[in-house]
Amino acid sequence: MKKLLSLLLAALLALSASSMALAEEKSANIALTNSIPSLNPLTLANAESSKYAISLIFLPLVDLDSELNFVPRLAQEITTDDHLHFTIRIREDAVWSDGLPVTAEDVAFSFLIAADPDSANTALAMYSVEGTDDDGFVEPGADHIDGVEIVDEKTLAVTVKWPMALYTFEYNFGCYLLTVPKHVLEDVPRGDLLTLDWFNHPDVISGPYFVRDFDLEHYVHFEANPDYFEGEARIKYLNFNVVLSSQILSGLKSGEIDLVQQTMGSIPVEDYGAVRALENVRAVNGTPVTNESVFINTANVTDPRIRQALLLGMDRQLVFENLLEGNGELVDGFLVSASPYYTDIGVTAYDPEKAASLIAEAKADGADTELTWYMNGNETEWNQAVEYFAQSFADLGLTIHTRPVTFANLMTAAENLEFDIMSVEYTYAPVDPYTDVVWLLGGEGSWTGYLTDEIAAALEATQELETVGEIAEQYRVVDTAMQQDPAMISGWVKASLGAVSSRLVNAEPNVFGTFINVHEWDIR
């Protein structure tokens, strides 16, 4: 009997200890106001929520920190001597969660499957890599890319077809080519990789967190990787939760939300004052880099007079002052004042009379004056602006049908070019506007389908020039063109507000770099 009681007591003590351990396991909640389209790094496109979520699992080679410096992640450094040949040196301490080293072969394999037409990531500029065709593809099933050479276990050499600035290579390939484990995936048929269920719960990762469970429309729950080579995360459970913008204030106040990062979660402007007043939260003002971009599908909106009328007929100043309360800036074109290459070309003034005249002229010549405008249904303030613009254009002779949709459906419409006009918050990296601009204006397959010889020459020049002033002059050409015949209109540039709970230690919400040190976050 004594022996039985001892065993029962030991079991109870063990259960109690286990319960205490579970109670002490730390968790933090990150608020998103857009759903996450995918957890597959091969389908990573233009969604910051996906980039940050997947980068917790599969690290990029380098990433931008809050000071806009490229800092090591999997790669110790990326260098070039001639802007044609780039050397990637992998960190000696970088290992997969199964203990095997991350090698140059893994990175070369990731380049290869990104260029294979059966598994290609069309958002990457693989067409610039030597050994790919004009569309960025190699032969299906190819075992190498001519321009990607393994030098040794931790060193890779990449050759590009034309001069490329180091910052462009680092941003496009360093930040967005997320390396996957060759030893796990090399035998998977390439045609299966884009839909491979393994990416939803990978068991071999390089990042600080595994995926625990998910519903991409509502949440992704992560669990710390105990073998992360930079050290196991102090917070065991990290949750990305999709919420409505209107729910953020109450979530911060109650403690249900621990962090809002400026490009993933959108705090309504009318709640800024209340968030700043919360005693349990520290509000963080974001640099104005989030551009509410209005993209015009020039294959549908073919008449430049209609495109010009769209720019002239939007009273951007009015909606900026009333809906954003001055939290940000107005610009024309892609570059914002935070970019070292920004030049002030002025902002096109609201001119409804000229817009009406252009619309009437174009209509008389047979132009379509009935357009569909897709927008992200979660962007509260901007959607109010779009509805106001649509009413204004009705008085000017242009019929606008507004279509607020989910972010995932917006990206589908964008990919399939199903829109006439589309607007979405887009963060152009201030240190590398080239990567986004060349794709967005880059002809067939881009969201605008618009690229003139003048713009192409200016963008090409940015990759060969050395001084900030010289590069800025070329971007001035691009932005001026958007004033004269807009394919993209900057609605406003939002200085978004971030927020972090006082219980969350070592976390600083920033437009860039928020999650670089996520393994060092802690709960007080």
Domain 207-286+497-523 has CATH 3.40.50.12780: no
Place of tokens 């959108």: 266
Distance from CA of residue 3 to its chain's centroid? 62
Q: What is the pLDDT of residues 177-235, one digit of tens each?
A: 999 999 999 999 999 999 999 999 999 999 999 999 999 999 999 999 999 999 999 99
Q: What is the pLDDT of residues 391-407, one digit of tens each?
A: 999 999 999 999 999 98
Q: What is the CATH number of domain 58-186?
A: 3.90.76.10
What's the topology of domain 290-494? Dipeptide-binding Protein; domain 3 (3.10.105)
Tokens for 104, please give them. Answer: 């140059």
Whether 371 contacts 401, CB under 8 Å: yes
Query: According to the model, what pLDDT value does residue 20 have?
Result: 33
Q: Would you list the domain boundaries of the chain? A: 58-186, 207-286+497-523, 290-494
The CA-based angle 514-519-524, given to 5 degrees, is 90
Q: What is the pLDDT of residues 106-131, one digit of tens each?
A: 999 999 999 999 999 888 889 999 99
Kindly state the average pLDDT of the residues 428-444: 86
Kindly state the average pLDDT of the residues 483-503: 95
Whether 486 contacts 305, CB under 8 Å: no
Tokens for 473, please give them. Answer: 């002059």
Distance CA 433, CA 417 (A): 23
3-state secondary structure of 374: strand
Q: Which residues contact 4 (CB under 8 A, 6 or more apart)?
A: none
Instruction: Identify the sign of the CA torsion 402, 406, 410, 412.
Output: negative
Q: Which residues contact 372 (CB under 8 A, 6 or more apart)?
A: 400, 401, 403, 419, 420, 421
**Roughly how many angstroms between the first and final C-alpha of the chain, as a whole number?**
45
Cα–Cα distances (Å) from 312 to 88, 309, 318, 348, 371, in that order, read: 46, 5, 13, 7, 16
Tokens for 283, please give them. Answer: 């509000």
Whether 225 contacts 205, CB under 8 Å: yes
Q: What is the pLDDT of residues 122-158, one digit of tens each?
A: 888 899 999 999 999 999 999 999 999 999 999 999 9
Query: According to the model, what pLDDT value does residue 23 have?
Result: 37
Query: According to the model, what pLDDT value does residue 192 have?
Result: 97
- Is pLDDT above 90 for 46? no
Query: According to the model, what pLDDT value does residue 15 have?
Result: 33
| pLDDT interval class at 13 (50, 70, 90) | very low
- Is pLDDT above 90 for 1? no
Tokens for 132, please give them. Answer: 């790919």
Residue 239 has φ and ψ, to the nearest 5°, of -120, 125
Tokens for 42, please give them. Answer: 């091969």
- Exposed, middle or buried by CB within 10 Å (0-12, 13-18, 19+), for 523? middle
Q: Which residues contact 184 (CB under 8 A, 6 or more apart)?
A: 198, 202, 204
pTM equals 0.79
Cα–Cα distances (Å) from 13 to 3, 4, 7, 25, 453, in that order, read: 15, 14, 10, 18, 76
- Is pLDDT above 60 for 49? yes
The CA-based angle 215-51-273, given to 5 degrees, is 85
Distance CA 247, CA 453 (A): 47
Kind plus residue range of the DSSP H or E element containing 488:
strand 488-494
